[in-house]
Amino acid sequence: MNFEKKLALTITSTACILTSMMAPVSAAKFKFSYSGGNVLNPNDVVTASGILTTSAYDPATNSYEIIDITGTRNGQAIDGLLASGTFLDNNNLLFTGFPKVDEFGFAYIIGETSYNVFYTYDYVEIGQQGFFTGYPLTSFSITPIPESSLIIGILSVTALVTINKINARSAHLRNKRQLPLGIGDKGNA
């Protein structure tokens, strides 16, 4: 491979890798799931999962603001996100480090019942349907959903590596065919 091709391959690979590593500058999506049980009644359990949509990452606060939610809680569809400050002082912030939510957490509604998921020494869900319910959460997960630019970057790097290997193999075979008779040919020796 000549110098220009190697340089182009190096520049393209570097650009793809750097693009795939950049923090999102637009809205991001995160998968969430959690489960737990009522301390007083082990048969009373909660499981929830879905997608959180956020605004752009704010480096000053190291957080995203949750602007939408979809998913289910105990098989019921989540109706929507509650505005910040409307249930137990929720702020709807999602942090990149630990914990993923603070002591104010994010809140959503299903029918007439509001729920707040927050962190105070552990992750907890509090619900209100005329009376309060509470669940210490035994599992809690929030993971980013890769952006299409990340997927395109990974696919581009994979394609470039594959093309490079194919070109190297082709060059090897071309060089082998150009050798004088008897050299490199075990059948003629």
Model confidence pLDDT, tens digit, residues 115-164: 999 999 999 999 987 778 889 999 999 999 987 655 556 666 666 666 66
Burial class (CB in 10 A: 0-12, 13-18, 19+), 140: buried
Whole-angstrom distance, CA of residue 157 vs CA of residue 17: 7
Q: Is 58 helix (H, G, I), strand (E, B) or coil?
A: strand
Q: Specify the residue for token string 């020494």.
A: 121
Percentage of residues of the chain with pLDDT beyond 70: 64
Nearest partner of 93 among 117, 125, 109, judged by Cα? 117
Q: Report residue 38's pLDDT band, with 50, 70 and 90 as the boundaries.
A: confident
* The token pair that represents 23 in the structure block: 């923090």
Q: Is the link from the previous residue into 24 a cis peptide, with omega within 30 of 0?
A: no
Question: CB–CB of 134/116 below 8 Å?
Answer: no
Q: Does the pTM of the predicted model rise above 0.75?
A: no
Question: CB–CB of 57/144 below 8 Å?
Answer: no
Domain ranges of the chain: 28-144
Specify the amino acid at residue 189: A
